A and B are shown apart, each in its own frame.
Chain A
Amino acid sequence: MAVTEKAAPPGPAPHQEHPGRGNRPDQEGWHLNSPLTLTLLLLLVVVFQGPVRGALSTPVMQSWMTVFVAVVVQALPFLVLGVLLSAAIAVFVPPAFFARALPSRPALAVPVAGLAGVVLPGCECASVPVAGALVRRGVTPAAAIAFLLSAPAINPIVLTATAVAFPRNPEMVLARFGGSLLVACAMGWLWQRLGRTDWLRLPAHAHHHGETKGEAFWSSVRHDTMHAGGFLVLGAMAAATLKAVAPAEWLRTAAANPVVAILALSILAVLLSICSEADAFVAASLTQFSLTAKLAFLIVGPMIDLKLFAMQAGTFGRGFALRFAPATFVAAIAGALLTGAVLL
């Protein structure tokens, strides 16, 4: 993590001050002055531009910054799309609609919601706020989870990309679709059996009563962008650190053993946090790995990675994310193994 701290000399210093300041009685003053703080911060950075640039000009730092900015720039449009959709759901769609659209038995609602993921054409950043809005709107969490996990992996854009990346293995597309849907439903049912609602802590939204619809819509957009966006930045930093400093050679040794290979690619999928529309191409370039290991990479990646974990922690609460992430990881690997054994 040393790299992360070095990476952003302008940023962390003021950030670390905030919790400290929060304990002091003048907390209110700080909140009211956030534009002032921002201006001061910008001024400070402009003044110290020279040394900052010097520290950032080493190759490691440069590639770190590039990947970091790239992940954020690439994910922001999808995040905004998801946030707009989720705000629309939260404000304009009455809760009764979902009660009618989904089967009333939760066990049946899970696969229906999983299949509904087909219609959200985006990557995983969009599905987190949408799933959050669904839960807030009274959809059973089990169904929302199935949607959250399946949407980024089985929509037409991602499946087309997979087909293009594996021209000689069309069964890969089928395996990805089937495997992802299977894992999404399994996680939904698992939540229905074991999940407890007190694990879910959705951040309280600004009170919507007494506001016009337009006001509620935009305040929801703003709140979600600020919240999920912050976590997105956190995840992007982690992914960039890995991409910039982790050696690629160890993958070669891992590929020799089939069991280790599957595990290694699953972990890699979590750490790299690649957009689900692009991960098929990366998987295809890992030529020394078996097809099953690549399938594990493709199923694990859209369901759980560093960026998603950070965003889920922000949207659903930390207690949920801490339990949900390992369970999803194990379930996704199991699903990949099962589908791989049947189809590949």
Chain B
Amino acid sequence: MFLVGAALLHAGTTNLYLRYVKAGLQPLILAAGAVLIVSALTTAWYEWRARNRAKSDQDHAHPEPRISWLLVLPLLALILVAPPALGSYSAVRAGTALQQPYGYMKLPKGDPIPLNLVDYAGRAVYDHGRSFHGRSVSIAGFVALDAKGSPYLVRMALNCCAADAQPVKVALTGKIPPVLQPDAWLQVTGTYTARVTHDPVNNGPIPYLNVTDAKPIPVPSDPYDESWNN
């Protein structure tokens, strides 16, 4: 129990937790970890005091329910393996979750425009790229290849934890790098094209991006898109 609390604290204080849950949960995770540790300590303290009080009371064993041993599993997973954030495998299996945005923020200046992948997809499909005025955009995401081998740039959007993460996909066309490694993170610069395809999984719209340049980047500290959380 102490270990579970400590593991939660560890995951909460490092950025590890961002692989699994949304950023807003951090204080809750820290609090839960602290409560578990306090509770483990008080248990130890009361037990120690009880032993001092009545030494004869030997068969005062507190058998933990067997089911609680299962708590060791996520602990091991978190400490030893620390599984990575969801990647292309899940992205290809789920349909794109693009929704119509409520409105469009004013775009930042510059050419190319630094843009969120989900933001680009929303503008491309529902605003028909009007706000770009021909400027090129720069978006980040990881590579996923579908069954036919066509490349997508994907960002997983999540609302609570990785169990409800859903991909938002942008199909790539134009100057695509010759070798594409699934799950590799890319910063892609390109221009808007009116071409839209439909996700074979759920028939959702997938916009295209005419790639002019792509360069690999390290995995961002928060791999998920959380723009729907506020």
Contacts and interface: CB of A to CB of B under 8 A. Distances in A.
A93 B188 CA distance: 59
Name which of B25, B32, B35, B164 has the most chain A CB atoms within 10 A of its CB: B164
Contact of B203 (A80, A234, A247, A252): A252
Contacts of B8: 73, 76
A11 B68 CA distance: 12
Interface string B39-82: 11011001000000000000001111111111111101110110
B29 A251 contact: no
B172 interface: no
B99 interface: yes
Given A31-B63, A77-B32, A230-B71, 15 more contacts: A14-B69, A49-B80, A53-B81, A59-B88, A66-B83, A71-B162, A73-B11, A76-B29, A80-B32, A214-B42, A225-B39, A231-B67, A233-B73, A278-B160, A287-B203
Given A31-B61, A219-B43, A226-B1, A73 B228 contact: no
A112 interface: no
Interface size class of B (residues with CB under 8 A): 35 or more
Nearest to B94: A248
A227 B65 contact: yes
A285 B97 contact: yes
Interface of A: 8, 10-11, 14-15, 18-19, 22, 28, 31-32, 34, 38, 41-42, 45-46, 49, 52-53, 56, 59-60, 62-63, 65-74, 76-81, 84, 161, 164, 167, 203, 206, 214-215, 218-219, 221-222, 225-227, 229-231, 233-234, 236-237, 239-240, 243-244, 247-249, 251-252, 272-275, 277-279, 281-282, 284-288, 314
Nearest to A245: B93
Contacts of B67: 227, 230-231, 234, 314
A56 B77 CA distance: 10
Given A59-B87, A218-B43, A221-B39, A73 B161 contact: yes
Given A52-B80, A77-B32, A218-B46, A69 B20 contact: yes
B93 to A, nearest CB: 6
A41 B19 CA distance: 26
A74 B28 CA distance: 9
Q: Among A52, A77, A164, which residue has the most Cβ atoms of chain B within 10 A?
A: A77
B163 A225 contact: no
A24 B74 CA distance: 29
B95 interface: yes
Nearest to B46: A215
B97 to A, nearest CB: 4
B72 A252 contact: no
A77 B29 contact: yes
A66 B86 contact: yes
B202 A273 contact: no
Contacts of A234: 67, 70
Contact of B164 (A31, A38, A278): A278
Contacts of A53: 80-81
Nearest to B85: A66
B159 interface: yes
A288 B163 CA distance: 21
A218 B39 contact: yes
A80 B8 CA distance: 12
B202 A284 contact: no
Contacts of A243: 90, 163
